[in-house]
Structure 1
């Protein structure tokens, strides 16, 4: 993505407003990263955002198209209900706000599988329009949801990717969404190869075989659902046609396994785990992440493959 949505630039430690899932939230810029593209006249700037009042695990990299300067005019946008914004199509600021909302909603519906953590800020921090009746009838269900969310949060696997792998995720995103290039398939080593060698070298870990088999199973089930960019889907469809009886863990490699690490805590939250199982799983996952980081130079591609004009038309 390029900075087409906004000409503003932001600095580290600057407080900003961020569009997320149709609402606007207050955040802070933690880091600024400039990334070159194949087009020498274009330079992308990415911002590591921390949502105020939320844990660090919800931090994410975004571009300036989702960001607004923190000033009174933009804070007014944050306070207004969405319906009132739609009633003022002639206001340039509101038009930009609506356009950015639509772009973001399209991004989440088509490319929610971008391999990066997606924060879920509380709706209570943004302006909403509700009636007394709706508020009253939804109280009990809201309480139940809060209890369920609290239980899920306590069971959530707490993973932290090292800085080198976070940088790899950013490069992966730029290669595909900006440079319109792809991971050349089949990969060597594959996800299956990586998990096999991990298992062989970590026999001291409790239930390491079951763990490796479980990660591979999660990968095969999650790949087509949440680990692909929209631009990669035609390639995925081709792989399924060419290898109908082969699991995708024997086709794809570390690039897509790394995206699974980001999604794994949310996936496992949906599974009821005993405390002991959760501890074993957490330790084994941390060891696997360390193993992938240690072998990053051989596991990850340094360059992605360019695509044909026909593929570009197909993907877009």
Structure 2
């Protein structure tokens, strides 16, 4: 097992940073930046696999299932981070996109040794959230070999859920137990084995793509505006009013009044203005259009 670990791309020494401990500060951060520039290119190489993951997630959410991220350490934290941003950004229910990490919530702020070493722990954590065949599970592990993630994906396959293995090594162990693998080869890290760097950056990019593309497919974006933003504070209310103004070209006071009439929901407020309808009528149009603002407006125009 140790020999296999040493052969992983994420564990190899970076030939370009062998002397990083003997150069000045500018040279250190330049070396880091040069390596970071490679990340987006590596992600580009796996866009077709990311597309499949988006399709899995979209299908799950549309039929009442969930998108579930699961990982350990940095990988687990990235999944939790992406999940918790979905409710304020897209007004999703907190139980629709979940982030699970080895060791539980307390492991988010303090590393818990050994939490990732047992496959049965990954299975247990999915059992605890009542995993079903309607769900999509994305297991995240930079090395591609974390037992906790492997166990979770194995159990998810057994249940019938769609499974995605996200790693930074080719032919990873977790890919073998998933429906599809997203293997982003970013190369050796600036600091040998420090996958909180390029590998983590790559994984954050991929997770952002998956959640954002899925939500766009679900009609939570109009043009490039977050029309399903959750108006939970004054900053977000101001953003909501700005979005309404941008789409409809109405004055600030009118946008605010329509937002309030729409119970602080941007989508019906836009439809109300664009189609000259009441809140109830706008809501009905949106329901018929599966929440898609563009389609709802088109229905009224037609």
Shorter-chain TM-score category?
A: under 0.3
Hey, which of these two has a bigger chunk of strand by percent?
1
Structure 1-normalised TM-score? Answer: 0.24
